């Protein structure tokens, strides 16, 4: 229930009635004298409590919705807001031209369905005044003003581990205690220090886009300087130019921007929304960025440049922020693919800006599209065609100082009547660490985060019980439609508070294991993108001394929501709960599979593919070939030659991959995967090319006879025969006969390991090394990973049984030619690299082989690929997370064969 008393707004009555802090006070905007005849005041009387269930900081869209939900669920609360009205970012950012660049069809609350009929947006991209009015409308409608203390800043918050409560200190001198403490302070709410010498010298008016005067600014006839060319600047420059007599824009880094094509809401989105609002909203919640979008399936490199530009033009015409980036599937992870978009965007700038030199200065080069926040504008680039607008390139003419009257830059000094700082924010963490938040054992969040924010799910942090962040670092936040992410976080916090209350718990705190697991997952996600190469505020690079990590979570809104839901569904996985003499610690890590691998698994699950072990061998072969046809080909190599060689039971096909470098090259005899049943000398083509190029070795990929037509030991015998032939013919193949190694994946890893043993036992050839990628080493299949990873990771326990059943009788499986791990002696084998994958049924037998080799004195490099599955490391150019392990494999081959 709302903890308020409601009455007609009457400031005179209020004044005499309730002095601040006593208990009953006036709420609502500070009005000075009550204006006569004003009837639409939002205000009244309320009982102000100094001990509540929840204190919320911030009354933007997050704080407002949370207040509503807390009341609806019977929690007492105080919402403390530094401004004198609701709206958060839309309260502060009043610079000319400020607009939301997510369409209003998507940038609206969904929690109150009545709003859809009660509020009509006038434009596709709402301008700041309209969004602020929307926030005020909702606040009035739901009586939220009565739950918010305005003009109050939180200066500190301290956790008391005895009382299990937070003590919150406010700028008014008031102290409030609360069971739970929520920072709903927004991601871009603390303007960063412009970090330019002499800023305090300037005597004229200074404006900061993120703190724009409420009454507006008239630049008519003025000489104005704007510093910065991010979103705020790009939106405001055309408006400032329209008034100023002279405008100089100081640009350090040019940005990608596309026209907003503002106007009515997009007809297609409106139709979808009106057709089935629930379905539309559900799609947004499970989408990648919080806006329903068709997911791209085409690589920017898979179409001609003309086709790519035609597709991009179509996206461009939509006038939607996310459309360009969603044209192709690989722009976020592949620099070359991304460059296609960059070229397109630059061509657009050239079309608009008349002076070629200015056009080039405005053209971003050196950072990938999307790694700095892309912008949307109305006539931004056109503004530079105006005679009174000048662009200064700070890379050539840096600002040496702001002076009393203007700016010194390069060899110039210019006077200005006003300076506008559009220099951005201390994003994501600024607002949180600016408040002195002290958790258990006196640890401050600022101290804990000095090397980067550590959170569990971007919602909580170890050592800070009952503390929550809405759209905190480590959550999709600024890489998403904020409305969707805000609602999701509010609902998760609400549900958690209800769950705790119902179960009789007082506190909730993430465990260190869970938090570290989330950090690793966030890093894994970041590692496969292009973000790290760019100096952006996403990476903390805009604030000197800020740690360099990717602050938002890049794994996607839908996946993130599922993760948070899963944490709850699994009994608060990764959290410790306590209260009333009881405690529950449900330790664990919620996402361990590499993010790109996870996406492939999800896609395959959605496709509902038949399991291969339900097929006949012929069907499985056809299926495997069809899947292979769809994958990227792998890197170019010098040449590829197909041939045949004599196997143990007849001719065997092979494919030779030669590097482009000068030979003779060391030689690697490679054996393909496919469970001895399917695959061929060309079925691991991308991996062979990758190894050939990166290890600079000649690869001879050899076919071998397949089961069930040719059962054990046909594959093993063919493998050894092929090795002997290649060794004998290495020189004529262009290789170096003195430097030979074997390699193989899966069943091919089994064939390679067996070939190495046979070579040792049968007088050669002498091998320099063996590279075994997720090999089969033990036909007993008794290892724990067969059970632990039995299902869900492509290679299943039952598929492995199907392979073995086709390949070898039970009685043969313990033979070392079938199970190299069971060989009585592993001494004297060549140095090995054994790669195993965390989520592979074969993991433990591969690990056991690595250990056994080491135990026998064989030099071994053992790579346990975290978060990988049996197949993922072979998926060249499809799964970026496989690149580092493959690089290690190539390095091992180079070392063996040096």
User: Residues interacting with ligand N01, by CB under 6 A?
Assistant: 99-101, 188, 194-196, 209, 227-233, 235, 252-253, 373, 394, 422-425, 478, 537, 542
Closer to ligand N01 by Cβ: residue 94 or 783: 94
DSSP string for residues in 693-729:
HHHT-EEEEE----TTTS-TTHHHHHHHHHHHHHHHH
No. of helices (H) and no. of strands (E), the chain: 26, 32
Report the nearest approach of ligand N01 to the CB of residue 256 (Å): 11
Closer to ligand N01 by Cβ: residue 89 or 871: 89
The secondary structure of residue 741, as a DSSP letter, is E
3-state secondary structure of 406: strand
Report the nearest approach of ligand N01 to the CB of residue 235 (Å): 6
Angle at 662 between CA 661 and CA 663, to 5 degrees: 115
Closer to ligand N01 by Cβ: residue 250 or 654: 250
CA 637 to chain CA mean position, Å: 33
Closer to ligand N01 by Cβ: residue 342 or 590: 342
Angle at 857 between CA 852 and CA 859, to 5 degrees: 90
Give the closest residue to 42 by CA, choosing from 146, 153, 179.
Answer: 146
Closer to ligand N01 by Cβ: residue 230 or 439: 230
Report the nearest approach of ligand N01 to the CB of residue 423 (Å): 4
Closer to ligand N01 by Cβ: residue 176 or 399: 399
Helix, strand, coil share of the chain (percent; to 5)? 35, 20, 45
3-state secondary structure of 24: strand
- Determine phi and psi for 504, rounding to 5 degrees: 80, 25
Report the nearest approach of ligand N01 to the CB of residue 584 (Å): 39
**CA 704 to CA 727: how far, in whole Å?**
17
Report the nearest approach of ligand N01 to the CB of residue 201 (Å): 15
Report the nearest approach of ligand N01 to the CB of residue 424 (Å): 2
Report the nearest approach of ligand N01 to the CB of residue 186 (Å): 10
**CA 169 to CA 315: how far, in whole Å?**
49
Report the nearest approach of ligand N01 to the CB of residue 395 (Å): 9
3-state secondary structure of 521: helix
**CA 593 to CA 884: how far, in whole Å?**
15
Closer to ligand N01 by Cβ: residue 58 or 831: 58
Report the nearest approach of ligand N01 to the CB of residue 332 (Å): 17
Tell me if 469 sits within 8 A of 459, measured CB to CB: yes
**CA 574 to CA 513: how far, in whole Å?**
7
Report the nearest approach of ligand N01 to the CB of residue 139 (Å): 21
Closer to ligand N01 by Cβ: residue 329 or 394: 394
Closer to ligand N01 by Cβ: residue 191 or 453: 191
Return the bridge partners of 408, or none.
401, 413
Closer to ligand N01 by Cβ: residue 102 or 865: 102
Report the nearest approach of ligand N01 to the CB of residue 46 (Å): 33
Give the closest residue to 99 by CA, choosing from 234, 224, 215.
Answer: 234
**For 799, how many CA atoms within 13 A lie in the half-sphere containing its CB?**
26
**What order do you get walking across the sheet with 507-510 strand by strand?**
507-510, 575-579, 582-586
Closer to ligand N01 by Cβ: residue 61 or 425: 425
Closest-approach residue to ligand N01 (CB): 230
Report the nearest approach of ligand N01 to the CB of residue 231 (Å): 3
Report the nearest approach of ligand N01 to the CB of residue 373 (Å): 3
Give the closest residue to 381 by CA, choosing from 405, 354, 400.
Answer: 354
Closer to ligand N01 by Cβ: residue 402 or 767: 402
Give the closest residue to 829 by CA, choosing from 751, 768, 738, 894.
Answer: 768
Report the nearest approach of ligand N01 to the CB of residue 524 (Å): 24
| Sequence-ordered list of residues with C-beta below 8 angstroms from that of 256, at least 6 positions apart, any chain | 342, 345, 364, 369, 370, 372, 374, 375
Tell me if 705 sits within 8 A of 714, measured CB to CB: yes
**CA 825 to CA 847: how far, in whole Å?**
17
Closer to ligand N01 by Cβ: residue 230 or 659: 230
Give the closest residue to 27 by CA, choosing from 10, 39, 52.
Answer: 10
| Distance set, CA 848 to CA 775, 852, 854 (Å) | 11, 6, 10
**CA 446 to CA 434: how far, in whole Å?**
8
Report the nearest approach of ligand N01 to the CB of residue 89 (Å): 8
Closer to ligand N01 by Cβ: residue 209 or 529: 209
Question: Cβ of 19: how many Cβ atoms within 10 Å?
Answer: 10
| Sequence-ordered list of residues with C-beta below 8 angstroms from that of 543, at least 6 positions apart, any chain | 192, 193, 195, 426, 430, 537
Closer to ligand N01 by Cβ: residue 167 or 209: 209
């Amino acid at each position: 229930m709302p903890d308020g008393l409601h009455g007609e707004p009457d400031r005179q009555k209020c004044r005499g009635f309730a002095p601040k802090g006593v208990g009953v006070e006036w709420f609502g905007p500070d009005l000075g004298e009550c204006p006569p005849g004003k009837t639409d005041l939002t205000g009244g009387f309320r009982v102000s409590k100094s001990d509540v269930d929840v204190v919320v900081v911030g009354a933007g869209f997050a704080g407002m919705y949370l207040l509503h939900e807390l009341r609806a669920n019977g929690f007492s609360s105080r919402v403390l807001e530094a401004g004198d009205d609701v709206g958060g970012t839309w309260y502060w950012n009043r610079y000319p031209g400020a607009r939301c660049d997510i369409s209003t069809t998507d940038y609206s609350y969904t929690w109150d369905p009545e709003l859809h009929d009660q509020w009509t947006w006038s434009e596709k991209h709402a301008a700041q005044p309209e969004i602020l009015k929307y926030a005020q409308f909702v606040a009035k409608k739901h009586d939220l003003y009565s739950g918010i203390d305005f003009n109050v800043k939180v200066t500190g918050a301290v956790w008391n581990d005895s009382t299990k409560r937070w003590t919150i200190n406010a700028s008014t001198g008031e102290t409030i205690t609360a069971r739970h403490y929520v920072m709903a302070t927004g991601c871009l709410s603390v303007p960063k220090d412009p970090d330019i010498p002499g800023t305090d010298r300037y005597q004229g008016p200074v404006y900061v886009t993120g703190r724009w005067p409420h009454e507006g600014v008239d630049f008519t006839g003025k000489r104005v300087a704007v510093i910065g060319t991010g979103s705020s600047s790009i939106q405001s420059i055309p408006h400032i130019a329209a008034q100023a007599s002279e405008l100089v824009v100081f640009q350090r880094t040019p940005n990608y921007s596309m026209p907003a094509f503002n106007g009515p809401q997009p007809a297609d989105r409106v139709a979808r929304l009106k057709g089935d609002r629930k379905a539309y909203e559900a799609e947004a919640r499970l989408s990648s960025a919080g806006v329903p979008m068709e997911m791209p399936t085409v690589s920017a490199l898979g179409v001609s440049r003309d086709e790519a530009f035609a597709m991009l033009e179509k996206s461009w015409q939509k006038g939607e922020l996310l459309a360009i980036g969603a044209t192709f599937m690989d722009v976020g992870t592949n620099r070359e693919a991304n460059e296609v978009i960059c070229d397109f965007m630059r061509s657009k700038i050239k079309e608009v800006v008349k002076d070629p030199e200015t056009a080039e200065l405005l053209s971003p080069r050196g950072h990938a599209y999307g790694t700095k926040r892309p912008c949307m504008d109305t006539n931004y680039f056109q503004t530079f065609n105006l005679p009174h607008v000048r662009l200064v390139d700070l890379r050539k003419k840096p600002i040496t100082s702001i002076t009393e009257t203007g700016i010194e830059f390069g060899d110039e000094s210019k006077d200005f009547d006003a300076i506008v700082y559009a220099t951005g924010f201390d994003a994501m963490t600024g607002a949180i660490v600016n408040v002195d938040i002290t958790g258990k054992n006196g640890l401050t969040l600022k101290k804990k985060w000095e090397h980067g924010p550590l959170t569990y799910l971007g919602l909580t942090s170890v050592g800070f019980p009952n503390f929550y962040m809405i759209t905190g670092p480590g959550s999709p936040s600024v890489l998403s439609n904020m409305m969707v992410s805000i609602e999701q976080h509010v609902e998760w916090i609400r549900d958690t508070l209800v769950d705790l209350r119902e179960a009789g718990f007082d506190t909730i705190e993430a465990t260190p294991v869970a938090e570290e697991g989330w950090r690793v997952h966030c890093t894994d996600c970041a590692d496969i993108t292009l973000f790290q190469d760019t100096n952006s505020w996403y990476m903390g690079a805009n604030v000197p001394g800020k740690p360099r990590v990717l602050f938002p979570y890049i794994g996607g809104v839908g996946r993130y929501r599922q993760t948070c839901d899963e944490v709850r569904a699994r009994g608060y996985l990764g959290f410790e709960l306590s209260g009333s003499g009881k405690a529950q610690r449900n330790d664990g890590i919620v996402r361990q599979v590499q993010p790109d691998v996870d996406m492939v698994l999800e896609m395959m699950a959605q496709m509902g593919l038949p399991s291969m072990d339900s097929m006949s061998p012929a069907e499985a072969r056809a299926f495997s070939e069809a899947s292979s046809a769809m994958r990227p080909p792998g890197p170019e190599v010098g040449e590829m030659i197909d041939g045949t060689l004599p196997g143990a039971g007849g001719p065997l096909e092979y494919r030779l991959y030669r590097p482009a470098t000068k030979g003779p090259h060391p030689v690697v005899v490679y054996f393909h995967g496919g469970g001895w049943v399917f695959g061929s000398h060309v079925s691991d083509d991308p991996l062979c090319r990758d190894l050939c190029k990166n290890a600079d070795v000649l690869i001879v990929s050899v076919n071998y006879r397949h089961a069930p037509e040719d059962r054990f030991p046909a594959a093993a015998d063919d493998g050894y025969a092929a090795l002997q032939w290649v060794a004998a013919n290495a020189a004529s193949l262009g290789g170096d006969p003195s430097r030979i190694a074997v390699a193989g994946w899966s069943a091919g890893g089994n064939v390679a390991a067996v070939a190495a043993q046979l070579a040792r036992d049968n007088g050669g050839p002498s091998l320099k090394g063996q590279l075994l990628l997720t090999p089969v080493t033990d036909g007993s299949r008794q290892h724990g990973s067969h059970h632990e990873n039995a299902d869900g990771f492509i290679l299943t326990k039952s598929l492995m049984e199907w392979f073995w059943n086709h390949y070898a009788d039970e009685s043969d499986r313990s033979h070392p030619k079938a199970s190299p791990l069971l060989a009585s002696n592993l001494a004297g084998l060549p140095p090995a690299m054994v790669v195993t994958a965390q989520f592979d049924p074969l993991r433990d037998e591969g690990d056991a082989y690595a250990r056994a080799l080491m135990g026998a004195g064989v030099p071994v490099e053992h790579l346990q690929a975290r978060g990988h599955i049996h197949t993922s490391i072979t998926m060249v150019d499809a799964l970026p997370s496989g690149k580092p392990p493959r690089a290690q494999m190539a390095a091992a081959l180079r070392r063996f064969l040096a």
